[in-house]
């Protein structure tokens, strides 16, 4: 069985592997300049593994003859990105106004983590919603 791998897929696999190694290194060496080594290392490991799995899935689909990327896919991604950006700008504006009015001493790490999760879930939700509509 011959597996054809394009340069883009190879670079994504190498990138995912490299990011995973960075996360493992953060867990092992626990640098002092990183406040939360388990969270940072876990984020790198998770991102690296996600990139590797997505690349492997893309390679498998391409080897089966499935068209992975076309104009429709790009259009759906554009629409989902625009809607996500719009919602996040409104959400971040409300958050900044609330934090400016209220005298809360909020740490940035939980707020940024929450905004990251909201961004990912919003984009994925809109992507699948637009994908079903078209």
Q: Which of 17, 75, 45 is nearest to 37 (CA)?
A: 45
Q: Roughly what angle, to the nearest 10 degrees, separates helices 37-64 and 7-29? A: 160
Question: Do both 81 and 58 map to the same domain?
Answer: no
CA distance 67 to 69: 6
Question: Do both 39 and 77 map to the same domain?
Answer: no
Question: Do both 4 and 55 map to the same domain?
Answer: yes
Question: Do both 120 and 75 map to the same domain?
Answer: yes
Question: Do both 51 and 77 map to the same domain?
Answer: no
Question: Do both 75 and 39 map to the same domain?
Answer: no
Question: Do both 117 and 132 map to the same domain?
Answer: yes
What is the domain extent for residue 113?
A: 69-134
pLDDT at residue 37, as a whole number: 85
Number of domains in the chain: 2
CA distance 45 to 59: 21
What residue ranges of the chain have pLDDT lower than 50? none
pLDDT at residue 52, as a whole number: 95
Q: How far, in Å, are 9, 67, 69 from residue 62 at the CA level?
A: 10, 7, 10
What average pLDDT does the structure give for the chain? 88
Please state the pTM of the whole predicted model: 0.68
pLDDT at residue 100, as a whole number: 78
């Amino acid at each position: 069985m011959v597996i054809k791998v394009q340069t883009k897929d190879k670079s994504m696999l190498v990138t995912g592997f490299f990011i995973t190694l960075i996360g493992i290194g953060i867990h092992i060496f626990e640098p002092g300049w990183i406040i939360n080594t388990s969270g940072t290392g876990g984020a790198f490991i998770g991102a690296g593994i996600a990139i590797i799995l997505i690349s492997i899935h893309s390679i498998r689909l391409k080897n089966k003859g499935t068209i992975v990327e076309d104009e429709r896919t790009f259009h759906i991604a554009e629409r989902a990105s625009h809607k996500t950006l719009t919602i996040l700008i409104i959400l971040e504006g409300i958050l900044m106004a609330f934090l400016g009015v209220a005298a809360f001493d909020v740490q940035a790490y939980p707020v940024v983590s929450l905004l990251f999760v909201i961004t990912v879930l919003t984009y994925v939700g809109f992507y699948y919603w637009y994908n079903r509509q078209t």
